[in-house]
């Protein structure tokens, strides 16, 4: 499966584009599948670009899957979790997300920008996310609410 491929630490996959024509059937992509993909990237250190293009998404396609990607990129459960968040992914495009709250998108974009800025230096990316998320009480409060 795609999730197993993404979890494989020896994977050399740098870019992945998934096009799904119809996700209205129960067997196709919804939030649970988005969460599975996000969770499978937790320890992936090679995938830099992910594009999920979906036509005719199910009604449940959206918010919780987006929350999973936010947690992947900047998990504020603890300083250690933030430091160990994914610092490799630099491009994430989720098309046709029905419930993609603007505040989640803002924080995903911020985390992706840090990953781009410190590409190849996960230590510096982790530090930047800690400083931006944990030392700014308003940002931390927002992120805690969103995750």
- For residue 9, what pLDDT is reported? 72
- Read off the pTM: 0.85
Highest mean pLDDT pick, 4-13, 23-32, 136-145: 136-145
pLDDT category, 11, cuts 50, 70, 90? confident
Contact present, 41 and 6 (Cβ < 8 Å): yes
Could you tell me the end-to-end alpha-carbon distance of the chain, in angstroms, rounded to an integer? 26
**pLDDT, tens digit (0-9, with 9 covering 90-100), for 55-87:** 666 555 677 888 999 999 999 999 999 999 999
Q: Are 6 and 37 in contact (CB under 8 A)?
A: yes
pLDDT at 19 over 80: no
């Amino acid at each position: 499966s795609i999730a197993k491929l993404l979890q494989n630490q020896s994977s050399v996959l740098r870019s992945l584009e998934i096009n799904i024509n119809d996700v209205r059937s129960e067997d196709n992509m919804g939030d649970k599948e988005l969460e599975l993909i996000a969770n499978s990237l937790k320890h992936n250190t090679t995938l830099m670009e992910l594009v999920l293009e979906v036509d005719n998404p199910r009604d449940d396609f959206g918010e919780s899957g987006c929350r999973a990607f936010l947690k992947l990129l900047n998990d504020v459960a603890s300083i250690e979790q933030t430091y160990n968040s994914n610092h490799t992914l630099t491009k994430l495009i989720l098309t046709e997300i029905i419930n993609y709250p603007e505040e989640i998108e803002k924080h995903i974009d911020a985390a992706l920008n840090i990953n781009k800025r410190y590409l190849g230096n996960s230590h510096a990316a982790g530090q930047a996310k800690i400083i931006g998320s944990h030392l700014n009480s308003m940002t931390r409060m927002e992120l805690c609410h969103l995750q």
